[in-house]
């Protein structure tokens, strides 16, 4: 029986077979998906910020790109995915806050995208495709059975599958 697993902000989950993984409201946040095509096991993290301060790293693992990535990787492998077959997809990382300065602190979306790219490259996990940046929020649905990632935007209203 298929489960639709809803992933909240700063959360992550793993599904398999006919399960779907859904996260809503990706603005500057990034939805990162890891997937083993052979076992049809997938995992998704809703990442809010790129790096965890040392004082909160263990308490809020899914909130930060660096700790969420490692926790998602650990959980997906424990669920039966082969770490050598993993591929990735991601969406989000929009620039949601207009600023008149060139201050990188406000470029949270870009920093979230960059940390995901760095971590995937470091682990040798191929990023198949991404729908990142821009200035619109996204809702994403990942289908474990097919590996398809559907991305919806509210304004302008669009839907595509990658």
Note if the pTM is more than 0.85: yes
What band does 97 get if pLDDT is binned at 50, 70 and 90?
A: low
What average pLDDT does the structure give for the chain?
93
The confidence score (pLDDT) of residue 104 equals 60
Would you list the domain boundaries of the chain? 4-161
Question: Which phi and psi (to 5°) does residue 22 adopt?
Answer: -125, 135
Helices and strands (DSSP H and E) totals, the chain: 2, 10
- Angstrom distance (rounded) from CA 52 to CA 97: 21
CB atoms within 10 A of CB 153: 18
When comparing pLDDT for 11 and 97, which is higher?
11
- CATH class of the region 4-161: alpha beta
Strand (E) or helix (H) holding 159: strand 158-161
The confidence score (pLDDT) of residue 101 equals 55
CA proximity to 7, closest of 43, 41, 35: 43
- Angstrom distance (rounded) from CA 55 to CA 116: 21
Per-residue DSSP letters for 67-128? Answer: HHHHHHHHHHHHTT--TTSEEEEEEE----S--SS--GGG-HHHHHHHHHHHHHHHHT-EEE
Residue keyed to tokens 């920093």: 111
The confidence score (pLDDT) of residue 25 equals 92
Is the model's pLDDT at 1 over the cut of 90?
A: no
The confidence score (pLDDT) of residue 62 equals 93
pLDDT for 38-96, tens place per residue? 999 999 999 999 999 887 657 789 999 999 999 999 999 999 999 999 999 999 999 97
The confidence score (pLDDT) of residue 105 equals 61
Sign of CA dihedral 67, 70, 76, 80: negative
């Amino acid at each position: 029986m298929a489960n639709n697993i809803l992933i909240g902000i700063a959360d992550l989950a793993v599904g398999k077979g006919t399960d779907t993984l859904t996260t809503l409201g990706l603005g500057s946040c990034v939805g990162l998906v890891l997937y083993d095509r052979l076992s049809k096991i997938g995992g998704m993290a809703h990442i809010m910020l790129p790096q965890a301060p040392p004082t909160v790293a263990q308490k809020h693992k899914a909130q930060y790109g660096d700790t969420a990535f490692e926790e998602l990787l650990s959980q997906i492998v424990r669920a039966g995915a082969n770490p050598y077959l993993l591929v990735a997809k991601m969406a989000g990382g929009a620039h949601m806050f207009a600023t008149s300065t060139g201050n990188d602190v406000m470029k949270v979306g870009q920093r979230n995208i960059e940390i995901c790219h760095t971590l995937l490259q470091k682990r040798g996990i191929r990023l198949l495709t991404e729908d990142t940046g821009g200035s619109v929020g996204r809702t994403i649905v990942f289908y474990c059975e097919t590996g398809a990632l559907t991305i919806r935007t509210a304004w302008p209203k669009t839907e595509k599958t990658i």
